[in-house]
Amino acid sequence: MKPSHRLRLKKMLAHGFLLVALALVVLPFLMVLVTSLRKGNFPPNSLWLNPDQWSLEHWKYVLNIPYSEIVNPSTPPLHWLWNSVIVSALSSAGIILLSSTAAYAFARMRFKFRGHILQSLLILQMFPAVLALTAYYTILDSVGRHVEWLGLNTLPGLISIYLAGVSTNIWMIKGYFDTIPASMEESARIDGASPFQTFVRILLPVSAPIFAVVFILSFIYTMSEYPVASAVLGTPKTWTLAVGASSLLREHEKLWGHFAALAVLSGVPITVMFLLCQRFVIGGLTSGGIKE
Amino acid sequence: MSQGSVHIKDLVKTYTDDRGRPTFTAVKNINLDIDNGEFMVLVGPSGCGKTTTLRMVAGLEKISSGTISIGDRVVNDLEPKDRGIAMVFQNYALYPHMTIFNNMAFGLQLAKKKKDFIQETVTRTSQALGLNQMLDRKPQALSGGQRQRVALGRAIVRNPVVFLFDEPLSNLDAKMRVQMRSEISRLHGQLGSTMIYVTHDQVEAMTMGDRICVMKDGVIMQVADPLTLYRKPENLFVAGFIGSPPMNLLRGKVQKQSSGLVFTETGEQNAISIPIKGPLESLVSKYVDKPIVLGVRPEHITEESKNGSHVPLTSAVDIAEPMGSESLVYMKAGGGSFIAKIHGEKLFHQGQPLTVYVDTGKILLFDPETEAVIR
């Protein structure tokens, strides 16, 4: 075989591999999209619709159109979406607040058992949150008896559980802080900045990329989290999108079309949030201040 | 006025691990007095404790024991901002997300100075440093030299009584380094403030310092003005550290011969002998037939004999480094080679026999055990 032929063969193989990988990512999404536009409720099974199969009925359902014809008042999809956005946004913001301050301490301060605490955080994170589901349930149940708005069936209750999942984020942010030379903060200290001023005015602005990454990852996780949310949230009014969507797949009546439309809809806030955060995910924020 | 004097007394820094167990002592009980307005250079190889000492003066590092006073105040427990110091870091340590103006104004803003005052101070300082065209830019848009000038400006606007420099020129290229060196020296002349300057480069130390403090392994080896360090090093370390090329240090013995006392180098081949003359004769009487180190600078081994103190020495050329007006000639000796500085535009080739003249009046002798100079 001539070298030029061999090169062409290599290129074709590489492209073939990439096309297969692309299909694995894109095809399921397209199938769900098609299902959401298909008349009646069928499981996702095709990529092609005949002209008489098109319908917007599922989208009308999830978007409550027309408002006069609300199909089922007890399962309002837009309300679930709103619940999800609130839970995800507040949880992600809270996670950033908790993990960035903790990471600052781990990265910059020296105290007893620092290494041990860091390691135990890592080990703790290896157990999935679902393992503690019954504990979460009991805790929220008893908390709810004293503080009603923080108990079972409340969004703040669910948020407080999500806030516990900070250890990976602490590690991630600490890793980023470790790459920022301490002399920048020392310089601020000599300039008269308090530790808190240094954190807010020097470290936070140059750490925007890692915060954007942590925020978007937390947002996606909480947006699609099902087990904990389904256990905590009992009443349809408080459901998040993931819980609401799964309720559409009932034992004897699987509303595949509704489910598919809702699934596609749940991607919208994630996409919006991703586009917002993406602006901050840029390299070289510290460049210029420090000579490496 | 003594408000800018710095007194370091019995200073110790021991690092500890997370549990508070001592791991490493970086500074071992040093004492140093720096006068008001003095330019003091701390110099030594990496790990000698010079930066740690500076950081303790700055207040960035906790003092394990001993005291540091600035003026007549003990500053051990003062925050850096209350010590009247400003510091310039090796890596500039500018705030990358702020403009040059804000970089310089940050400290004044935190100190709640009036806006007019900040504006005026920063403008005046930036003009003096040639940065006034760049106040709206961010550090990223500046060259290395300009960035270090911003760091310098940030220190100046704080109007400190003591400036601290932590290897500020190490990250600059050779040309910029020479330029900034003279700029800092000029600044010292204008402001008259005390400056403590840490470097590992003995050329910077010699050219900039009023006095130089040579450190090694957390201990001060010698504190003196540049010429004294050059002429009268107190120990082998200072002798070998100061001067470029370094002083030739030859190991051997002093023996009594019919012609008088003679130093003979240890070594099978090419071992050289140098007669001991003049005032040294009485000094070495205790060391006859004992190991000794003879030190002589390359610039005192030359091609011409000027007066009676010069003695001839013949050996073969090993390597020659022509520098134009002069050549550094590495000549074979028992312990490898010694360096002679030969003036004139000449070329040498390997193996060529050469007779040079050693100025015995400039010879120093060291005790190899204590490493101290014999005097």
Q: Supply the pLDDT for residue A248.
A: 85
Q: What domains lie within chain A, and their CATH numbers?
A: 3-55 (no CATH), 77-278 (1.10.3720.10)
Nearest Cα to B272, choosing from B248, B289, B290?
B248
Residue burial B181-199, b: 16+ Cβ < 10 Å; e: rest: bebbeebbeeeebbbbbbb
DSSP state letter for A286: S
Least confident segment among A129-138, B153-162, B359-368 = A129-138
Share of chain A above pLDDT 70, in %: 92
Nearest CA in chain B to A291: B91
Q: Supply the pLDDT for residue A292.
A: 53
Sign of CA dihedral B50, B53, B59, B63: positive
Least confident segment among A54-58, B106-110, B243-247, B294-298 = A54-58
B97, B107, B144: residue with CB nearest A192: B107
Using only the alpha carbons of chain A, give its radius of gyration: 24
Size of interface A-B (CB pairs under 8 A): 95
Q: Per residue in B109-136, pLDDT tens?
A: 999 999 999 999 999 999 999 999 999 9
Torsion of CA B214, B216, B218, B224, to 10 degrees: -20
Top mean-pLDDT range of A19-23, B21-25, B335-339:
A19-23
Question: Phi and psi for A59 in degrees, rounded to 5?
Answer: -70, -35
Residue A38 has pLDDT above 60, yes or no: yes
Q: Supply the pLDDT for residue A66.
A: 62
CB within 8 Å of A237: residues ≥ 6 apart: A79
B18, B90, B92: residue with CB nearest A289: B92
Q: Supply the pLDDT for residue A289.
A: 65
Q: How confident is the model at residue B305 (pLDDT cuts 50, 70, 90)?
A: confident
Q: Supply the pLDDT for residue B336.
A: 82
User: Does any CB of chain A come closer than 8 Å to the CB of residue B319?
Assistant: no
Q: Per residue in A84-113, pLDDT tens?
A: 999 999 999 999 999 999 999 999 888 888
Instruction: Report the residue count for chain B.
Output: 375
Q: How confident is the model at residue A56 (pLDDT cuts 50, 70, 90)?
A: confident
Residue A129 has pLDDT above 80, yes or no: no
Mutate to test the interface with B, among A116, A179, A187 (most CBs of B within 10 A): A187
Instruction: Say yes or no for a CB contact (<8 Å) between B86 and A190.
Output: yes
Mutate to test the interface with A, among B62, B94, B142 (most CBs of A within 10 A): B94
Residues of B in contact with A115 (CB under 8 A): 18
Residues of B in contact with A183 (CB under 8 A): 89-91, 93
Q: Residues 160 to 179 of B: which have CB under 8 A from any A CB?
A: 171
Q: Per residue in A247-287, pLDDT tens?
A: 888 877 788 888 899 889 888 999 999 888 888 877 656 66
Residue A203, min C-alpha distance to chain B (Å): 9
Instruction: Say yes or no for a CB contact (<8 Å) between B81 and A189.
Output: yes
Whole-number Å distance between alpha carbons of A214 and A204: 13
A205, A285, A289: residue with CB nearest B94: A289
Q: Are B208 and B41 in contact (CB under 8 A)?
A: yes
Residue A68 has pLDDT above 50, yes or no: no
Q: Per residue in B178-232, pLDDT tens?
A: 999 999 999 999 999 999 999 999 999 999 999 999 999 999 999 999 999 999 9
Write out the residues of chain A at the interface with chain B, using a CB-CB cutoff of 8 A.
110-115, 181, 183-184, 186-193, 197, 202, 205-206, 284-292
User: Does any CB of chain A come closer than 8 Å to the CB of residue B138?
Assistant: yes
Q: Supply the pLDDT for residue A286.
A: 63
Cα angle, residue A197 at apex, residues A193 and A198 outer, rounded to 5°: 75
Q: How confident is the model at residue A69 (pLDDT cuts 50, 70, 90)?
A: very low
* For chain A, the helix, strand and coil percentages under 3-state DSSP, each to the nearest 5: 70, 0, 25
Least confident segment among A16-20, A280-284, B49-53, B306-310 = A280-284
Whole-number Å distance between alpha carbons of B331 and A219: 73
User: Does any CB of chain A come closer than 8 Å to the CB of residue B81?
Assistant: yes
Three-state SS for A290? strand
Cα separations in angstroms, B149 against A290, B52, B108, B136: 13, 24, 18, 15
Instruction: Say yes or no for a CB contact (<8 Å) between A287 and B147.
Output: no
Q: Supply the pLDDT for residue B123.
A: 95
Whole-number Å distance between alpha carbons of A29 and A181: 43
Whole-number Å distance between alpha carbons of A229 and A248: 16
Q: What domains lie within chain B, and their CATH numbers?
A: 6-241 (3.40.50.300), 248-366 (2.40.50.140)
Q: Are B278 and B224 in contact (CB under 8 A)?
A: no
In three state form, how does the secondary structure of chain B look? CCCCCEEEEEEEEEEECCCCCEEEEEEEEEEEEECCCCEEEEECCCCCCHHHHHHHHHCCCCCCEEEEEECCEECCCCCHHHCCEEEECCCCCCCCCCCHHHHHHHHHHHCCCCHHHHHHHHHHHHHHCCCHHHCCCCHHHCCHHHHHHHHHHHHHHCCCCEEEEECCCCCCCHHHHHHHHHHHHHHHHHHCCEEEEEECCHHHHHHHCCEEEEEECCEEEEEECHHHHHHCCCEHHHHHHCCCCCCEEEEEEEEEECCEEEEEECCCCCCCEEECCCCHHHHHHHHECCEEEEEECHHHEECCCCCCCEEEEEEEEEEEEECCCEEEEEEEECCEEEEEEEECCCCCCCCCEEEEEEEHHHCEEECCCCCEECC
Instruction: Say yes or no for a CB contact (<8 Å) between A292 and B107.
Output: no
Q: Supply the pLDDT for residue A71.
A: 47
- Averaged pLDDT of chain B: 92
Q: What is the enclosing helix (H) or strand (E) of A96?
A: helix A77-108
Instruction: Say yes or no for a CB contact (<8 Å) between B141 and A284.
Output: no
